[in-house]
Amino acid sequence: MMYLDNSATTKPFPEVLQSFMKVANDYFGNPSSLHGLGMQAERLLTQAREQIARLLEVKPTEVIFTSGGTEGNNLAIKGVAWQHQQRGRHMITTAIEHPSVTEACKQLEQLGFQVTYVPVDERGIVSPTHIEQALRDDTILVSVMHVNNEVGSIQPIEQIGMLLKKYPKVLFHVDGVQGAAKVPLHLKRANVDLYTISAHKFHGLKGAGVLYVREGVRLSPLLSGGAQEMQLRSGTENVAAIVAMAKALRLSVEKYHESSARLGEMKRALIERLQAIEGIVVHTPFEQSAPHIIHFSLEGVKSEAFVHELEKQHVYVSTTSACSSRKKAPSKTLLAMGVEKMRAERSIRISLSYEQQMEHIPIIVEAIERAYERLKIVARGTK
């Protein structure tokens, strides 16, 4: 089996599963309880928070545990909106954000907020100048993803963060779900106020995530209850999944230092081989893109049919993002990049992990070629 849908979710590391089972079985107490089992769970929660803070180079009190990327993005965007609506009701984001950002913004628009969706260039990259031009006196938040989940383009987060230093009342949120442990980002130097990650994108378990909230930033909580997580996220913490997430992040950061150069070489080799196939257009830029994502489109073949044809060879890829793939809609990111609708409807995403090796590249390309040829024969036969 060749699993190439790691941007949708990753396979948990064995050590991560072992940590989860150990904590779930032996330290199952509620971390808010006063008895010994509760205090054991609380200590593990504290240790996980400290470890994640070290890896992100932030303070432990700035680490808020969530259920994942969607909750983290919603808490950041809506939390800023509710807290700061008296100062302003305008927000800025880009045309290529994940649905958990765009849908949160659309919901706020229905409630009277105004959102500016800044365009991107043909590489899928937003201009810091365009961000600055969209700023208004009543702007309260800028939200820009670090790595695009469809084509892998890396946004100029550091440059945007630096320009926002001139506008201290505007908060800066970064959706880091696709970038964490794959594309380095120093949150303090980049002037980031809010940063979202999700465990299952770096070989942790689904249902655990982190929202970094810079010290001094005020948010209105989305959930009312027992005031856990610095009073920002009520609900009993999933201690086992959080401990497993801390281990997954540590192991993934280690893997990055060991294997990121090889992953980049694999991406380049794969793009070069794909570009040589007639009818395929690669949409991921060579430069300023993440090392694990390759996005391309197929002429004359439906993307859903290609995914299933490739699956017959036990090779697993996706169309757009996992959240949008079942809608059978064209890639929003490709449309924003100026790609024609027909191409955007026939796009495929390959997303690698550190498990893949360079010798896998010919196997992947040959499987793609076989699947593509079979579908073109079928398409010709139906005309």
Active site residues: 323
Please report, for residues 110, 279, 339, 346, the alpha-carbon distance to residue 302 in angstroms, rounded to integers and kept in the order given.
35, 13, 16, 5
Q: Residue 90 — φ and ψ, nearest 5°? A: -120, 135
CB distance 65 to 49 below 8 Å: yes
Please report, for residues 66, 93, 176, 301, the alpha-carbon distance to residue 70 in angstroms, rounded to integers and kept in the order given.
9, 16, 11, 32
One-character DSSP codes across 222-285: SS-SS-TTTTTS-S---HHHHHHHHHHHHHHHHHHHHHHHHHHHHHHHHHHHHHTSTTEEE-S-
Residue with tokens 């430069």: 287
Q: In whole angstroms, what is the distance from residue 184 CA to residue 257 CA?
A: 10
What sign does the CA torsion over 88, 157, 200, 239 have?
Answer: negative
Two tokens, residue 67: 């259920």
Q: In whole angstroms, what is the distance from residue 14 CA to residue 29 CA?
A: 24
